[in-house]
Each structure stands twice: as C-alpha cells, then as structure tokens.
Amino acid sequence: MYATIEYFKNIKDTVFTVFEGMTITFSHFLRRPMTIQYPDRIEKPVQETLPLRYRGILEVDMDICTGCLACERVCPIICIAIGIEMNKETKQRTFSQFDIDICKCMFCGLCAEVCPTGSIRHSQEFEGACTNPAGMVRRFVTETVPLYKPKKGGETDSKMIAKVDIGNKYLDELASPES
C-alpha cells in the first residue's frame, strides 16, 4: 500500500516538474529576443568598446622598425620570422622577410614590450578568421625595405615624426600601470 502511494506521488511530482519547466520554456516564445545580430545591428563598432590595452592581432610599422630582432628572439613559440640582408654595394641592411603567423601567436605581448621603437604592437583588430591557415600568416615585407635608423637629433620628416610618436605613445601605454 505504501509503495503504491509513493508510486503515484512520484508520478504527480514528475508531471508537476515537467509542467513547471515547460511553462518557463513557453514563456520565452512570448518574449522579445535579446540576441543582438552581430555585426549588423550594434549601436557602435566593437573596436570602440574594447579596452585601451586590448591585445588584438599584431601589426608592424616597417617604417620605424630597426631590425634589432628582439621580438623574434623573445617570442616563446617562434611565430615571428624576420629576414635581414646586407646590400654589399651600399652597405645598407634591408628586410627581406617579416612574417607573423597569427595561427601560432598566443597574444602574450612580449614582442611589443621588448620593441625599442614600438613598431610592433597589438591592434584593435580581432576578426581574423579565414578558411585556410596559410592565410593567417601576415607578411609585412613584399619587397626589400631598408631598416630604420633613428636620428641622433630627432626626426625632421613630419611623416616619420608622427610614426615615431605613435610608437612612443604605445610604449608609454605598456609601461603605465593598469587602470
């Protein structure tokens, strides 16, 4: 007798809990959706909502890169490949290769911290998806580029002054304590 009462009580509890769960589920059919369709219907671009020190995909300003190879040496997973050649006639060093494999990169920021000019830095770009992993290799040198030599008295070219200021500003942001 006791087992029969317990059996029907369990059936009643099961029906009640199923009904309770279904009322919650059906109530969602009557609500407006909370999903925001990305990227079509957002109020402002996602890049504007990212924090200042966001570690996005790496970018390199080849105009102010000195070719010190510090970023390549400090990278723990060897995702940066730099090739430097010496022109025997002009005795000027040039970049033959500057590649960053974004597939390997773990966005640790060590390369940006060690760069003396701030030429390698994290951008606000985060949408780097592609179907082919070979497409994730960023090639910053397509033809030979001369290495940057900082001038002792400071830059005189306004374009270079702006680039050096951007690099210095980035280095200052890295050095400042987090807010």
Could you please report the per-residue DSSP string of 82-124? Answer: EEEEEETTTTEEEEEEEEEETTT-----HHHHH-SS--EEE-S
What pLDDT, in 10s, does the model give residues 15-69?
999 999 999 888 888 888 777 766 666 777 777 888 878 888 999 998 889 899 9
Could you please report the per-residue DSSP string of 36-48? Answer: --TTTT-SS-HHH
What pLDDT, in 10s, does the model give residues 131-147?
888 888 999 998 888 88
Residue 178 has pLDDT above 70, yes or no: no
Give percent of the chain above pLDDT 70.
93
User: In this structure, is the dihedral angle defined by the CA atoms of residues 33, 38, 44 and 47, taken in order, positive or negative?
Assistant: positive
